[in-house]
Structure 1
Amino acid sequence: MKTPKISKAIDEIDEQILLRLSNDGRISMSDLASQVGLSAPSVTERVRHLQQHGIIRSISADIDWKALGYVLEAIVRIKPRPGELHKVEAMIDAQPRFTHCDKVTGEDCFVTRLLVRDIGELDPLLDPFHDRAETNTAIVKSSPLSGRLPPLLEEKGFTVK
């Protein structure tokens, strides 16, 4: 991940741009400009600036996986056996049903998310890991909070070039 370079303070307009883009990445620059009170060229320049400095990494679609048949999401904590860390990481990367993977501190080395069409798909996906790791699985019932931005302007002195 690219670390932002220091120089110019992020202001309330930048914060509003980030909030609106995080809610609707397909918003047109003219609509975004009218919502934040600037001209479309000014907003376009600010967005380009935020992209160039790694603050906006990408703008993507929010896909409803259930509409595509993936009705269950599982959070799987994975604790590789000694000497198996890199092999387990490669196995996670090779299985396309894993949609997220975080390497973490603590007892587990990985916290992952994967999608399945039904509960019967879970064991065949996880069984190959059991020779190399311990797994602990929880099924996601709902996600009352997802993708919220942290406060952007409370940190004094956070600036970007």
Structure 2
Amino acid sequence: MTESLDATDWSILSELQQDGRLPITELSRRVGLSASATTDRVKRLESLGVITGYRAEVDLEKAGFPLLGLVRLKYSAHQHQPLHRVLEERREILECLRTTGDDCYTVRVAATSMRHLEEVVDELARFGSTTTSVVFSRTLPYRGPVEPPKEPKQP
């Protein structure tokens, strides 16, 4: 997939990750293309599935969710559908990553209070053992890739 992305595509991705509401005229100025060429590029990136959507970034604390928890789950069953149903139903579960190692999943949870976080963790604990960490701060917020991946160096 990365073979089909050139420097201009990466510039467009970088700009849109910083501001998904950037008008095409401003985006085209920043990347050095006409508005129609920029529109075509953005549509191509969308159709390739490189751009998967546009969304608002929400300040969780200001939205009433002052606690962010990371829950690691060692899933004890072989059927994952019951867990997937809980993940779909609980809107305070922001993200779930299936991982390697001792834990099977890492779950990001936005909570209104410690009691609320405990309730979500208790529900996840039905599926296996959990380890929970509370986030103090976002040292480096998610930023997305802004340049093509580098090839590993050959020995």
- Shorter-normalised TM range: 0.7 to 0.9
- Pick from 143, 147, 152 the counterpart of residue 147 of structure 1: 143
Q: Is there any run of 5+ residues in structure 2 with no aligned partner, and where? A: none
Q: Secondary structure at the match of 1:67?
A: coil
The TM-score normalised by the length of structure 2 is: 0.86
Q: Spell out, residue by residue over 1:58-115, the C-alpha distance to the aligned partner (whole angstroms, 9 max, x if none).
A: 1211111111111010000111224464323332332221010011121111101011
1:103 aligns to 2:126 (yes or no): no
Identity across aligned pairs (percent)? 27
Q: Secondary structure at the match of 1:62?
A: coil
Higher relative contact order, chain-length normalized (CA < 8 Å, sep 6+): 1
Paired with 2:28 and 2:88, the residues of 1 have a C-alpha distance of: 39
Paired with 2:138 and 2:129, the residues of 1 have a C-alpha distance of: 25
Q: What RMSD, in angstroms, separates the aligned Cα atoms of the two structures?
A: 2.1
Matches within 5 A, 1:53-72: 53-72=48-67
Partner of 1:158: none
- Pick from 17, 22, 27 the counterpart of residue 27 of structure 1: 22
CA drift at 1:150: 5.4
Partner of 1:78: 73
Q: Secondary structure at the match of 1:16?
A: helix
* Number of aligned positions between the proteins: 151
The amino acid that maps onto 1:28 is P
The amino acid that maps onto 2:145 is L
Contact 2:70–2:135 under 8 Å retained in 1? yes
Contact 1:79–1:107 under 8 Å retained in 2? yes
Q: Secondary structure at the match of 2:39?
A: helix
